[in-house]
Structure 1
Amino acid sequence: MSHEHGARSSRVILVEPALTHLAKLTASETHRLDRAIVAISVDPEVGSLVPGTLLRDYVDEFDDVRVIFYVTALRAITIVACVEA
């Protein structure tokens, strides 16, 4: 890969609890959540570490969205465990 390209975004996967939450969201809430997921995929270190775990807690107060996630060792995949919007 050429050095001209920026860092690759992480691939985001939602697990069952997050999918269940997602199914209950309105179109507006889903749109706000989409922006948060993009932010996480671009910068998987966004948010704060949950003490004693590998989880990260990302809260976007502007869009009123919260995402609990963890990033695989190679930072290629971000696993979303919980979403709130």
Structure 2
Amino acid sequence: MSPEHGARRSQVVMVEPALTQLAKLTASETHRLDRAIVAISVNPDFGTALPGTLLRDYADEVDGVRVIYYVTALRTITIVAYVEA
């Protein structure tokens, strides 16, 4: 990676339950959630591993958002299973 390029972001995909939740959010909530998803796509390790699963739980107390997700083996795709804002 050349010095002028930042870290590669993973592609974010939302599954049906997350899409259903997203559809219920206001514009402000969606904006706050978007910032969290961008942070996760840059560094999937931000979230806390949920014991006994592949899932991670990312909660941002300042923005009041929560994202449950998992990352593919090659860390190129982040799959969002649940969102809350």
Alignment TM-score > 0.5, same fold: yes
Q: Output aligned runs, 1:18-57, within 5 Å.
A: 18-57=18-57
| Corresponding position of 1:3 | 2
Q: Percent identity?
A: 76
| Corresponding position of 1:67 | 67
| Corresponding position of 1:14 | 14
Q: CA deviation at 1:59?
A: 0.1
TM-score (norm 1): 0.95
SS at match of 2:39: helix
Distance 2:15 2:29 in 1: 18
Q: CA deviation at 1:47?
A: 1.3
SS at match of 1:75: coil
Distance 2:12 2:35 in 1: 13
Gaps of at least 5 residues in structure 1 are none
Distance 2:49 2:68 in 1: 10
Once superposed, which parts of structure 1, at least 4 consecutive aligned residues long, lie more than 3 Å away? Answer: none
Q: CA deviation at 1:6?
A: 2.8
Q: CA deviation at 1:72?
A: 0.2
TM-score (norm 2): 0.95
